Chain A
């Protein structure tokens, strides 16, 4: 997205300098452009935007099944969602899950990127490749493997603990412990991306800055704090927000590993909405009402992100 905005401005300045051929009132060209944009616009309108808008419409109705004729229900379903502890708990749970997971993967990501950015690491490319491979493992596969590793019967982790003579907790069957297991797996999943992004950003640091800071008597912490961290700040802003968006959409970890249990302790909003839409008894309107709140929160985050990004871009000009 950064590139998109930056790209915009580059062309924009070009436009001022010189009138390019597509700026002339060339109706033929406009027609071609419009026709070329149309198929994409129609598909996106029909199968992405229309269903999203339907979510709002359906949240004002009283539908049980997807095929029910819509009957007007005013704000009742939306109010029901706000007053339903099942939904509000899940909402807060998702926020906590997202916060802890993003915090953990950001700290780990920066720490490991700084380590990897040193000059004298042998086999740097091998480590980078391994991290990149960790990034492409799909969420589904991650969930399946970790469900298997943490299993109570024949799970490797509990076997190792028993060999060491330690207690063997029911990792995936303990309402207090299980959410943290899922957060841990989520951190495992997000960290490779974080390392790669921060490493790319750190590589833009001019090595001479560190040298001159050293001459001025800066210690290691000061160099990290005032050089590395201030270089990473814009990247961090974008990456943390991407992390929030991605992590709050986590679906397969609870869906495959715990199915929302035990005692709904891992019922994230994604799973709750999915279940309300599709498992019997279906409550399509209620699911839509819950979706509206998720939608509004994400839209607010997006608007904030967009606003800051735009402001930073204008400042840079």
Chain B
């Protein structure tokens, strides 16, 4: 019954299957190739094209993971730290703002939402220069708190929209009952509504992680030296032409993809429903 016009004949099932398998191959092969190449290590130039490495050499992983050779662990620590601090700031602030936007009816809320919508559309690089200037004036260049605060400000719109959308679906009867029992608005939010919003909190956290894990532009201009993050190391290495070792680059790529892949089941569970709901900024 539900057959598309270009797959009408008896062969359509095989036709579809072949196309879908080809699609999966095209989507996955680059990532698989990255993993394969990273295992070739220093044999890379003698064994560049084989699908199964002739000899598995973990030398390129050792390069990144051995402390003196690179700042990899330091960068991981900085990146995770900025993720944790940003989440710890963004989730409560986003919850408070999202709750207000969901429950408070004034016309200012609409103005606020339209503002957020336009803000989310604007690409980050447009205001990068003025942001840099602002932090020079605040004398915060190289101070990790500069990064945390900017990440919080940049992630708040998406988080508060996610929280608001979720709060809108919650029934208000429980809150009214609590109000009658003499619970304050503040108490209602944290004792009753927030514990119900776990899915929205998880979704927001995943958004924040995916946004920060490979964030380059802000980290590159605001951080210096020992506060460098992972994306900055990776991208600056990938752009340096002189000693460009493919296996090193690919192993770094694999190391970066591992946490994202581990988060994938969460993405599958929580993000697909709201695929087009709040995600505006790429």
Interface mask (A25-60 → B, CB under 8 Å = 1, otherwise 0): 000111011001101110110111111101100100
A127 touches B24 (CB 8 A): yes
Q: A118-B16, A130-B27 are in contact. Are A136 and B267 (CB under 8 A)?
A: yes
Which of the segments B55-63, B72-80, B272-280 contacts the partner chain?
B272-280
Contact across chains for A115 and B20 when beta carbons are under 8 A apart: yes
Q: Is the CB of B4 within 8 A of A115?
A: yes
Residue numbers in B under 8 Å from A107 (CB-CB) = none
Is B54 on the interface with A (CB-CB < 8 A)?
A: no
Contacts of B276 in A (CB 8 A): 2, 197, 200, 235, 238-239, 242
Q: Which of B5, B113, B117, B118 contacts A223 (CB 8 A)?
A: B5
The complex places the Cα of A41 from the Cα of B257 at a distance, in Å, of: 34
Across-interface contacts of B116 in A (CB, < 8 A): 44
A270: contacting residue among B37, B114, B125, B264, CB under 8 A:
B125
Q: Which residue of B lies closest to A8 (CB)?
A: B110
Chain A neighbourhood of B153, CB < 8 A: 43-44, 46-48
Complex interface bits, B107-139 against A, C-beta within 8 A gives 1, otherwise 0: 000101110111101111111111111101000
B268 within 8 A of A: yes
Q: Is B223 an interface residue (CB 8 A)?
A: no
Per the CB 8 Å criterion, the residue count for chain A at the interface is 119
When the two chains form their complex, are residues B122 and A22 in contact, meaning their CB atoms are under 8 A apart?
A: no
Docked-complex contact B5 and A40, CB < 8 angstroms: no
Q: Are B30 and A273 in contact (CB under 8 A)?
A: no
Q: Given the complex, which residues of A lie within 8 Å of B45, measured CB to CB? A: 154
Contact A54 B134 (CB under 8 A): yes
- Contact present for B96 and A40 (CB under 8 Å): yes
Distance between A126 CB and nearest chain B CB, rounded to angstroms? 8
Asked whether A47 lies within 8 Å of B131 as measured between CB atoms, the reply is yes
Kindly specify which of A71-79, A95-103, A137-145 makes contact with the partner chain: A137-145
A200 to B272, CA, bound (A): 9
Please determine whether B1 and A210 come into contact, CB atoms closer than 8 angstroms: yes
Interface residues of A in 109-167 (CB under 8 A from B): 112, 114-122, 126-127, 129-134, 136-149, 151, 154, 156, 159
Q: Within the assembled complex, what's the spacing in Å between the Cα atoms of A240 and B119?
A: 19
Q: A133-B261, A141-B34, A302-B121 are known contacts; what are 7 more A-B pairs with Cβ within 8 Å?
A: A7-B168, A20-B172, A44-B116, A47-B153, A132-B267, A156-B33, A210-B1
Nearest 5 Cβ contacts at the A-B interface: A220-B5, A54-B130, A47-B153, A40-B97, A51-B127
